[in-house]
Amino acid sequence: MGKLFDVKMVFTNIPQILVYLPVTMELAISAMAASLVLGLLLAIIKEKKMPVLTPIVNLFISIIRGTPVLVQLYVTYFGIPMVQKYIAMQNGTTYNASAVPPILYAFVALAVNQSAYNAETFRSALQSVDRGQIEAATSLGMSGWQILTRITLPESFAVALPNLGNAFISLIKGTSLAFVCAVVDMTAAGKIIGGRTYRYFEVYVSLALIYWVITIVVEQAMKLIEKKMAIPDEVPVVQGSENATEVQRAAAV
Amino acid sequence: MSEIEIKNLSKKFKENVVLDGINLSINKGDVIAVIGPSGTGKSTLLRCIDRLETPESGTIDLAGLHVDLSARGNHKAIRELHQRTGMVFQSWNLFQRKTALQNVMEGLITVKKLPKAEAEKIAREQLANVGLADRANHYPKHLSGGQQQRVAIARALAMQPELILFDEPTSALDPELVGEVLDTIRKAAQEGYTMLIVSHEMNFVRNVANRVLFLENGHIVEDGTPAEIFGHPKSPRLREFISKIDRLQAPEYSI
C-alpha cells in the first residue's frame, strides 16, 4: 500500500478526464439551449393563460419539479426504448435500441428537467415587465407578436438572466449524472480511472476541481453578458457625433 | 360632418358605472380638454377610445373606419384604430431598453414599416421639435420626467395620428417640469393636431383648448368653449368645481 492520499495523482488525472470535457459541455449547452426554447414556450402558455394547454403545462411542471433528476434520467433511459418497441410492434418492423446514442437520452432528460425550471424563471420575468410599456406599444399599433419579440422578451430576458446563469451552472453539474444513461462524460471517465487505479478519492478530488473551475469560468462569462445586457449607466456616446462632448457633460450632471 | 364620432360609450367596473352612454363629436383640429372631479372616468374615457380598456358598449368612427369598441376579436380594426390614434400616458411609458431615438423610431419601423434611415430622419426631426435633439442617445433612465414625457409626445406625434389622447400628461411631474411639457403640447396644438386632453392644469386648458368637456359621474355635464365653461358655468356641479379650483389658485390669505 502506497501513500494514503496521492496529491500528484489528483493532477495527473486531470488531463485524462479533460478528454471528456467536450462531452460534458456538449450535453450541458445543448440541453440548456433546448430548455430555454421549451421553457419560454411553457412560460408564454402560462402567462397568456391559454385554455387546455395551461393545466397540462402546470401538471408537467409539477411532475418534473416533484421528481429527482436521477429518476427522470432512468425513466428516459428505459422509456424511450419502450416507445421504440411499441412503434416497431405497431408497424411490424424491428428496432435497435443501441442505435440511439446514449447522450440523446441524457439530453432529453436534462433538457426537459431544466425547461420546467426555466419556465418558472421566464414566467416571473414576463410578469415583471411594466404594463405601461406594453400599453404604449399597443397604442402605437404594434401587433402582439411585435410587442412580444421587441418589447416584452428583451425586457424580461434581462431580468431572467441571473437566474438562467444559475440554472446553467447547476445543469453543468447535473450532467455528472448522465453516466446512468451510459454516457461517458467527465464523471464517468473519472469512475473508469478510479476502477482502474483503485484511487477513487483522488479521482473525485480531480473531478471536483474541474467542475469548480468550469463554474468559475461560467460565472465570469455570465457577469460579462449581464453587463452587456444592462442599460449603460453613462449615456452611450455615438462615434462621430458632433455633440458627443455635450452629451457626456449632460450625463455627468 | 365631424371628423371623429364616438357614440354611446359605456364602461363599468363591476357594479361601478364609470362612463354612461357618452356621445362625442370631434372636429379636425379640435383641442378638447376634459375636466372634472377625480374618479369621474376621464382617463377611462381616453383608454376606452384607444381601446386599452374594453367598454360594455360604444363605437368610434374615423374617416373610413368604423370600430365597435365593445367587440372582442376584431383585431384588424382595433389595430387600425391604434395606428390612427396616439396616446400619451401619465407615467410616460417609454420603452426602458431603448434610447430616446429608438423609442420614437419603434412605431415607424414596426407599424408604418418605414426603412430604417427614413424612420431615423423622422425621429430626429420629432425629437428636435420637442427640443431634445441632443438627447437622442439617452435611455429613459438618463432623462428627467419632463424630458421623458416630451420623448413620449415625440413618439406619438411621429406616427401622425388623426387624434392624440393625452392622459393627465403632467400629473406625475415635478412642478418645475410641468411647463416644458405643456409648452410642447401647446406647440403640437398650434401645428393643427386633433387632441383630447385630460388635464388638471386649468390655466393651460383655458389658453390652449378650443373646447372643454366637464365630465361627472360618467356623463358629459357641460360642453363648451373655455370662456363658457369657466366664465358662465350653467350646472351647479360645474360652478362648485370651478369655485374649488379658484379657491386653490387664490392667495392663502388677503388683507
DSSP string, chain A: ---SS-HHHHHHHHHHHHTTHHHHHHHHHHHHHHHHHHHHHHHHHHHTT-TTHHHHHHHHHHHHHTS-HHHHHHHHHHHHHHHHHHHHHHHT----GGGS-HHHHHHHHHHHHHHHHHHHHHHHHHHHS-HHHHHHHHHHT--HHHHIIIIIHHHHHHHHHHHHHHHHHHHHHHGGGGGGGT---HHHHHHHHHHHHS-HHHHHHHHHHHHHHHHHHHHHHHHHHHHHHSPPSSPPPPTT-TTHHHHHHHHH-
Tell me the per-residue pLDDT of A92-125, one tens digit each, with 9 for 90 and over. 888 877 788 899 999 999 999 999 999 999 999 9
pLDDT band for A248, please (50, 70, 90 cuts): very low
Residue where the block lists cell 463554474? A215
Contact between B96 and A235 using a beta-carbon 8 Å cutoff: no
Contact A216, B124 (CB under 8 A): no
Domain boundaries, chain A: 7-252
Q: Determine contact: B116 vs chain A, CB below 8 A.
A: no
Which of B92, B96, B111 is opposite residue A140, by nearest beta carbon?
B111
Would you say residue A247 has pLDDT above 50? no
Nearest to A247 among B94, B137, B141 (CB): B137
Q: Do A137 and B106 touch (CB under 8 A)?
A: yes
Chain B contact set for A241 (CB, 8 A):
137
What b/e string do you get for A165-200 counting C-beta neighbours within 10 Å, with b at 16 or more? bebbbebbebbebbbbbebbbbbbbbbbbbeeeebe
What residue in A sits closest to B103 (Cα-Cα)?
A137
Instruction: Please give, rounded to a whole number of angstroms, the shortest distance from the CA of A129 to a CA of chain B.
Output: 10
* Inter-residue contact B86 to B138 (CB < 8 Å): no
- For domain A7-252, the CATH superfamily is MetI-like (1.10.3720.10)
Q: Which of B83, B89, B141 sits opposite A136 (nearest CB)?
A: B89
* pLDDT band per the 50, 70, 90 thresholds, residue A218: very high
Q: What pLDDT score was predicted for residue A91?
A: 87
What structural domains and CATH numbers belong to chain B? 4-93+162-249 (3.40.50.300)
List, for residues A145-192, the tens digit of each pLDDT value: 999 999 999 999 999 999 999 999 999 999 999 999 999 999 999 999
| Interface contacts A/B by beta carbons within 8 Å | 86
Which of A135, A139, A156 is most worth mutating to test chain B (most B CB atoms within 10 A of its CB)?
A139
Distance CA B164, CA B82 (A): 11
Q: Do B89 and A151 touch (CB under 8 A)?
A: no
